[in-house]
Amino acid sequence: MVAGIRTPNPLNESTKNDQNRHLSSLETTMPKVYGELNQIQKNLEAHFRDMQDIEFTIQDGRLWMLQCRTGKRTGVAALNMAMDMLLEGLIDRKTAVMRVAPSQLDELLHPILNPESEKAAQVVGKGLPAGPGGAVGQIVFTAEDAVKWSKNGKKVILVREETNPEDVEGMRVADGLLTARGGMTSHAALVARGWGKCAIVGCDAVHIDLSKRVLTINGKKYPEGSVFSLNGTRGFVYDKAIETMDASENPRFQEFMKMVDTFRTMGVRTNADTPEDAQMALNFGAEGIGLFRIEHMFYGMNSEAPLSKLRKMILSESVGERKLALHELAPYVRAAAKETLRVMDGLPLTFRLLDPPLHEFVPHTHDKQKELAKELGISVEEVIKRGEILHEENPMMGHRGVRLGITYPEISEMQFRAIFTATAELIKEGLRPRPEIMVPVTISVKELDNQKIIADKVHKEVQEQFGINFDYQYGTMIEIPRATIVADEMARTAQFFSFGTNDLTQMTFGFSRDDIGSFMGEYIQKKILPFDPFQHIDEPSVGKLIEEGIKKGRSTSPDIKIGICGEHGGDPQSIHFCYRMGMTYVSCSPFRVPIARLAAAQAAIKEAK
């Protein structure tokens, strides 16, 4: 029976189904034993105040209880049971909040593959579950095709070797993403989770022949347009259509979340870079934006124009050329800042200064190179040459973040002016924008001081220009090990810290998140690491650095505001750690906001015990 090779007899008449309708039930065959079992079950569930999985046997007409444990359930079931038991007075509100695992909320927010239909299908490939939920559609191999097919009303699954910023428009229109390479924090995974999109990454079995438009998996060939289904919650790939279901319309979800917030003490913000994402996060209950990545406005929809200006800026060779390009870029940054500040009216919005991986924005296709050459008034060869100069051996530890602002102060100045001008314009409209400026990749308070001189100068100029006064907050990412060690000095200038635990994990482990795919699997399997440290904060190392950073920061600035904006900000286990560390808020992608709210409430309940 445990092996599933026998169809068990039904317990009673009322729960008979198609598989066992022909079999007699325990209720009719052994009415006395059935009554006994029924009573024991009621006693057990009353005692444990939760649904139980019960194992029993009947020998010579006598009932033997073997074991019982809390029954497994889906997210929808967990929510319904918790609310039912609360209404029945079986459990109190605190217990009801604890009954739903934060990760189970995912199910309520994404369409999923119907588990019954999925059971009947054959898995053809496995990858990392990078974006939860389910997706069904026709496979295409380029972002352009995804856009084209989707315009023709087709549901598509975008299959790529790996993705880059140029694919973003295709990723946005696709129902699901499947990549052959990349880890849980690869570009594809980050974008997918940000949008709550179903995605499977690092699926080794995937081999794409782009010229022939054919996908090969385990020797079997699938032409463009073949129908695939993805289970992004488990990382399973299917080569046929599987029924989906939408579980998000559960009417009790809002009610439950309202209750959750009564126990929560730590703030929950969101990582959002567009007015649309900001609005979505607000609907999910976000209390501010903890991370607005200025460079993200160059990814995706309608970004062609600003992207070409950014490229122009990046490939500039002189201060003059760069200032001209920045001048053209400024209106886009100001508009993006203004519209998102408008959506977040009255709530804090943390703008992180540009931290673009420069080489990613250098055009690689001949067409784009030609286009840019024309715009810059230089030869294609010159575009290629300047691009090569920007090449870095290890861009993650290269000329990025505040290092750009130190060497090219005009880049910082443009951003400060865009943000302050947007703020001033909104104040004139009668709104209450609350901008916060966050400096990335810092290692020393001297970097913060250097940039603040520019910020304060521009702040003063904009206030004078508009004839108004307004405040802004000035803080820093803490994402490089050195920053955690000298946090006491950083806190002399920074009004807030936001732990960037993606980069902090990279540097603490010496793990490039783009490259760990080749060994992380074996590290987990051989139990060298208990889990992927990009999924949960590694408390013995990254956690220790965070603890020291907070302690030191508060030693010079006791009330400093402290948050987290790495991917861990949406991970329940890490959120619990952040609560213990006394953080002011966590910030996560819009779709994870409800999860973070629940995890933060549960942390408060658990730690109060």
Separation between Cα atoms, residue 170 and residue 172, nearest integer Å: 5
How is 182-243 classified by DSSP, letter by letter? --TTSHHHHHHHHHT-EEEE--TTEEEETTTTEEEETTEEEETT-EEEEETTTTEEESS---
Phi, psi of 547 (to 5 degrees): -60, -45
Site membership for a copy of itself, residue 396 (CB under 8 A): yes
Which of 510, 559, 608, 609 binds a copy of itself (CB under 8 A)? It is: 510
Which of 296, 459, 536, 565 is labelled catalytic?
Answer: 565
Measured from the CB of residue 397, what is the shortest distance to a copy of itself in angstroms? 4
- The residue type of 449 is D
Name the segment binding a copy of itself (CB under 8 A); options: 134-142, 143-151, 241-249, 506-514: 506-514
Nearest to 392 by CA among 371, 352, 361, 369: 361
Which of 53, 528, 555, 607 binds a copy of itself (CB under 8 A)? It is: 528
Nearest to 593 by CA among 162, 291, 221: 291
198 as an active site residue: the answer is no
Which of 8, 87, 220, 519 binds a copy of itself (CB under 8 A)? It is: 519
**How many of the other CB atoms lie within 10 Å of CB of 59?**
7
Site membership for a copy of itself, residue 485 (CB under 8 A): yes
Site membership for a copy of itself, residue 538 (CB under 8 A): yes
- The residue type of 156 is V
Name the segment binding a copy of itself (CB under 8 A); options: 106-114, 265-273, 416-424, 443-451: 443-451
How is 345-363 classified by DSSP, letter by letter? TTSEEEEEP----GGGGS-
Separation between Cα atoms, residue 574 and residue 499, nearest integer Å: 12
Separation between Cα atoms, residue 141 and residue 325, nearest integer Å: 34
- The residue type of 503 is D
Site membership for a copy of itself, residue 299 (CB under 8 A): no
Alpha helices in 3-74 (DSSP H): 26-29, 31-48
Which of 268, 507, 537, 599 binds a copy of itself (CB under 8 A)? It is: 507
Measured from the CB of residue 44, what is the shortest distance to a copy of itself in angstroms? 40
Q: What is the 3-state secondary structure (H, E, C) of 272-336?
A: CCCHHHHHHHHHCCCCCEEEEEHHHHHCCCCCHHHHHHHHHHHCCCCHHHHHHHHHHHHHHHHHH
Q: Using DSSP bridges, classify how beta strands 227-231 and 134-140 pair: parallel, antiparallel or unpaired.
A: antiparallel
Nearer to a copy of itself by Cβ, of 90 and 205: the residue is 205
Nearer to a copy of itself by Cβ, of 79 and 189: the residue is 189
Sites for a copy of itself among residues 540-569 (CB under 8 A): 540-541, 544-545
Which of 169, 503, 532, 571 binds a copy of itself (CB under 8 A)? It is: 503
Name the segment binding a copy of itself (CB under 8 A); options: 50-58, 131-139, 415-423, 436-444: 436-444
Window 355-394: contact mask with a copy of itself (x via CB under 8 A): -------------------------------------xxx
Measured from the CB of residue 481, what is the shortest distance to a copy of itself in angstroms? 5
Nearer to a copy of itself by Cβ, of 154 and 399: the residue is 399
Nearer to a copy of itself by Cβ, of 152 and 318: the residue is 318
Sites for a copy of itself among residues 120-179 (CB under 8 A): none
Measured from the CB of residue 517, what is the shortest distance to a copy of itself in angstroms? 9
Nearest to 481 by CA among 450, 443, 511: 443
Sites for a copy of itself among residues 205-234 (CB under 8 A): none
Displacement of CA 310 from its chain's centroid (Å): 25
Laid out side by side, the sheet with 123-126 consists of 123-126, 236-238, 227-231, 134-140, 156-160, 176-179, 198-201, 128-131
Number of residues near a copy of itself (by CB under 8 A): 47
Which of 271, 274, 412, 508 binds a copy of itself (CB under 8 A)? It is: 508
The helix or strand, by DSSP H or E, that contains position 377, with its residue range, turns out to be none
Which of 110, 187, 459, 576 is labelled catalytic?
Answer: 187
399 as an active site residue: the answer is no
579 contact partners, CB below 8 Å, separation of at least 6: 266, 600, 603, 604, 607
Which of 231, 271, 316, 506 binds a copy of itself (CB under 8 A)? It is: 506
Structure-block tokens of residue 509: 């482990």
Site membership for a copy of itself, residue 486 (CB under 8 A): yes
Site membership for a copy of itself, residue 50 (CB under 8 A): no
User: Which residues participate in catalysis according to the annotation?
Assistant: 187, 565
Positions touching a copy of itself (CB under 8 A) are 392-399, 403, 406-407, 441, 443-444, 446-447, 450, 479-482, 485-486, 503, 506-512, 514-516, 518-519, 522-523, 526-529, 538, 540-541, 544-545
